[in-house]
Amino acid sequence: MQEDKQIEMLALEISNQEMQVPPGTTLLNLVTVLEQDFPYPILGAKYNGEIVDLYTEVNTSGKIELIDITSEEGMRIYRQSLVFLLARAVYELFPQRKLMVQHSLGKSYYCEFKGMDYISPLDLIALEAKMKEFVEAEEPIIPQYLSREIALRMLLAQGHEEKVALLENLDYQKIRIYTSGPYSNYSYRILAPDMGRLKVFRLEAYAQGFLLRFPDSLNPQQVAPYPNLPKLGQVFRESGEWASILGVNNLAGLYGLCKHDQRKYIELIHIAEALHEKKIARIADEIYSQHEKLRIVLIAGPSSSGKTTFAQRLAIQLRVLGLQPVSISLDDYFVDRENTPLDEHGEIDFEVLEAIDLELFNQQLQELIAGHIVEVPTFNFETGLREWTGKKLQVKPGHPLIIEGIHGLNERLTSSIPRENKYKIYISALTQITIDDHNRIQTTDTRLIRRIVRDNRFRGQGALETLKRWPSVRRGEEKNIFPFQEEAEIMFNSALIYELCILKSYAVPLLSQVSSREKEYTDARRLLSLLEYFPEFSAQNVPLNSILREFIGGSSIHGQ
């Protein structure tokens, strides 16, 4: 591609110092010369392995890679820049209102105004028009590194009390503040150099607030399809209610609750875990109320969502009610490795449905439901072969089979069983806490940190190996899990509001080992930057049956 050639040329010239760069030259100066040959606006750059904004001065030799919306990092910049654009429009049109960016919903952010349960359609029209006015004018978004005192004073004057409350707990001597016209704000991600690069977006009324809709990186020229995800929206609302029960909606609240009183932190853990247990018990009650017709319970969710611990805790709650569930592992029905399909890169793809022997799986499901004693296979991951070791299962009449695996919500997995005999559960770690009103934490980042810690503790892998594998995992989730999530009867949020405070001490040393020479270095730096915001707490007070124990060890359920 022409774009790739331009990036390589720029990197080569700077690296070899063949380009004479006058003092004070910024990346934006260089981009302005090259940008006309790119299909999409440049939003930022990777400069010697670090993600930087385009106002960064080119003062050392090295490699520069330009970032546009078609990359994952470019999409992050685009989304956060749109939030800044929206926040400036709110500041100028409705200065007395407080914008809250609550959570993601498909390719959108759900937003509200604090204390308001209704937003006029005319207000949304006015907001979108003001945003487009700024885009048309190509209003600059200029970063400044200010002294701590000046930056906090500026944020306070702009009404960003929650950001000041957080930053007061962090040892930053210089703080990056972005300014556009009369508006200034803090962003933990870098932003686009101007608003003219943010042409594709839409505001749309939703629930008590509205959606800030943005494009998909695969189709950057138009807004992504409307996110028709009512069940996911409901579980996010439930998570917001949990955060209110815990008294912690953002990181400033977490610091305020726990910093000076360890008892408050221990109490936070106990309440968060009790909310999990209560929800699991309610799901068990729902299954029991239908147990005469329900034959299988299917549990599915993306990587590192805590499916295994959840499944076992649900089984315990079902036993409390007098049921005797039997668990079956979908992994044991993998086809032999030589018959496993390949992905588009020619690599073995364990995450497609065709990697499972559907015929055998459905045959044995029917036999088990009929009450027969069935010898089930075991998959040997070392040899890549299915083995028959004499393991036998039997399900008593009126008692459920529990099946946990990524394809659980896909009807094709259990096509031989009528839909009314199934109960489907979707589980994911949907981050409850935000950094502040405008800076949210990506759910995928929480899951990735969980996986890095687990892979190291139980699989002997470093962070680099997990980071290398993650894009493939994410592609599998996008194809095999997320399209089916609304098929679930119920959703369970496995995130714990305190978990990054625990995972921090495990993850930081692992992420710090990723070399700047590696492509994954920028991901490691991004996760390290996120963890910097969190206080660090000991794991000693984490209950032994907690979902978090699946990742840090010490589980009374797994025996790890």
Q: What are 224's two structure tokens?
A: 């992504």
Asked if 454 and 203 touch (Cβ cutoff 8 Å), the reply is no
Beta bridge partners of 348: 342
Residue matched to tokens 């994952």? 72
CATH number for 76-228 (one of 3.40.50.970, 3.40.50.360, 3.40.50.720, 3.30.980.10): it is: 3.30.980.10
**Cα separation, 250 vs 145, whole angstroms:** 24
Query: What is the 3-state composition of the chain as percent helix, strand, coil, each rounded to the nearest 5?
Result: 45, 20, 35
Indicate the class that CATH gives domain 2-68.
alpha beta
Classify strands 422-428 and 490-493 as parallel, antiparallel or unpaired. parallel
Phi, psi of 375 (to 5 degrees): -85, 120
Spell out the per-residue pLDDT of the chain, length 560, in tens.
Answer: 334 434 343 443 444 344 456 778 899 998 887 777 788 999 999 988 889 999 999 888 778 889 999 999 999 999 999 999 999 999 999 999 999 998 898 899 999 999 999 999 999 999 999 999 999 999 999 999 999 999 999 999 999 999 999 999 999 999 999 999 999 999 999 999 999 999 999 999 999 999 999 998 889 999 999 988 888 888 888 877 777 777 788 999 899 888 777 788 899 999 999 999 999 999 999 999 999 999 999 999 999 999 999 999 999 999 999 999 999 888 899 999 899 888 777 777 878 899 999 999 999 999 999 999 999 999 988 898 999 999 999 999 889 999 998 899 999 999 999 999 999 999 999 887 899 999 999 989 999 999 999 999 998 999 999 999 999 889 888 888 999 999 999 999 999 999 999 999 999 999 999 999 999 999 999 999 999 999 999 999 999 999 999 999 999 886 55
Picking from 102, 56, 106, 105, the residue whose alpha carbon sits closest to that of residue 83 is: 102
Asked if 484 and 420 touch (Cβ cutoff 8 Å), the reply is no
**Cα separation, 317 vs 413, whole angstroms:** 26
pTM: 0.91
Asked if 240 and 102 touch (Cβ cutoff 8 Å), the reply is yes
Buried b (16+ CB within 10 A) or exposed e, 15-46: eeeeeebeeeebbbebbeeebeebebbbbbbb
Q: What residues have CB less than 8 Å from 211, skipping those under 6 apart? A: 105, 108, 109, 110, 111, 202, 203, 204, 205, 227
Query: What angle is formed at CA 480 by the lines to CA 474 and CA 486, rounded to 5 degrees?
Result: 110
Q: What are 368's two structure tokens?
A: 């088990």
Q: Can you give the residue ranges of every domain in the chain?
A: 2-68, 76-228, 231-279+429-552
**Cα separation, 185 vs 171, whole angstroms:** 19
